[in-house]
Amino acid sequence: MNPGIVYACLAFAMWGLFPLYFRELAGVAPLEVVLHRSAWSLLFLLGLLAAQRRFGWLRGVLRQPKRLGLFGVSALLLSGNWLVYVYAVQSGQVVEASLGYFINPIVNVLLGVLVLHERLRRVQWAAVALAALGVAWLTLQAGRLPWIALVLALSFGVYGLMRKTAPLGALEGLALETMLLAPIVLPALLWWTLAGHGAMARGDLALDAWLVVGGPLTALPLLLFAAGARRLPLATVGLLQYLSPTIQFLLGVWVFNEPFDARKLVGFVLIWAALALYTLDGWRFARREAVAPA
């Protein structure tokens, strides 16, 4: 078996199981969870970089203010994505959060058209139309836009677009993002804790451990994903990425017992059909491109 499949599956499975982790932090405000996640991720990533003696890239980046600014924006996008996701889990909206990552590939397609001026094939346009119909149906049934799903899909889509053109790898890129956030995150977390409002001021060692482990849990899936993506065709990675929102969806329905009736199922089926069209078209196009040189 290609080890890339193992790495990618482990990464997507870890992302899919994140609701179980955030439920353990139900008594901590979402913003504080994000602050801890960023702080402990920074410590963990700096330890990895020090162990591998991989700080040479930092000197070049610090000499390029424009690049630092772009990574600052991507760091804010990632933090916003984390904040909305933690809020969704803690407020019992895991199913809607999973919807955001189901429609993320369709958002990526639209960003490619609007930003990179890519041209879509007919099947891709059909997939976009089906996904839009699914979102419209869910909006009609709920009486409101599924804003959690849309914010998660858009923020992660724009973040992915920015990182796609970034020159740094997964480890270095995430380390730089957490470094840029540190002047905000660390003082805020210190003040919050010393003022007696923070979770670590409660003296609950189990809770403290859950917060600290957020660092490795944030970085490891990204590193596994990067290792898998280097060893796999893009079409295979695209297919495996649905593992994460599928696990989240199943957790929301079967473990957290969130409401999911037949009317909501119709909207999800439309979006799943869009993903099936999109994935099948991408797979066929990749095969055609691979055969063409021969």
Q: How far is it, in rounded angstroms, from Cα 294 to Cα 283?
A: 18
Is residue 83 scored above 90 in pLDDT? Answer: yes
Tokens of 92: 């019992």
Task: Quickly state the pLDDT bin for 36 (edges 50, 70, 90).
Answer: very high
- Pair of tokens at residue 32: 């504080």
Give residue 291's pLDDT band: very low, low, confident or very high (50, 70, 90): low
d(CA 248, CA 252): 6
Tell me the domain boundaries of the chain: 3-291
- Looking at every residue in the chain, the average pLDDT score rounds to 86
pLDDT at 252 over 70: yes
Asked whether residue 286 carries a pLDDT value surpassing 60, the answer given is yes
Query: What angle (nearest 5°) sits at the alpha carbon of residue 187, between those of residues 171 and 184?
Result: 55
Which is higher by pLDDT, 109 or 93?
Answer: 93
How much is the pLDDT for 235? 61
Q: Token digits for 210?
A: 């859950």
Q: CA angle 48-50-54, nearest 5°? A: 90
Query: What pLDDT sits at residue 1?
Result: 55
Q: What is the pLDDT of residue 294?
A: 53
- Per-residue pLDDT tens for 121-136? 888 888 888 888 988 9
Mean pLDDT, rounded, for 31-56: 92
Residue 155 sits at the vertex; the CA angle it makes with 186 and 34, to the nearest 5 degrees, is 25
Backbone φ, ψ for residue 223 (5° rounding) = -70, -40
Mean pLDDT on 11-38: 93
279 or 83, which is more confident? 83
Q: Are 248 and 98 in contact (CB under 8 A)?
A: yes
CA dist., res. 95 & res. 258, Å (int): 7
The one-character DSSP state at 294 is -
How far apart are alpha carbons 217 and 18 in whole angstroms? 9
Q: Percent of the chain scored above 90 by pLDDT?
A: 38
DSSP class of residue 181 equals H
Q: Are 243 and 69 in contact (CB under 8 A)?
A: no
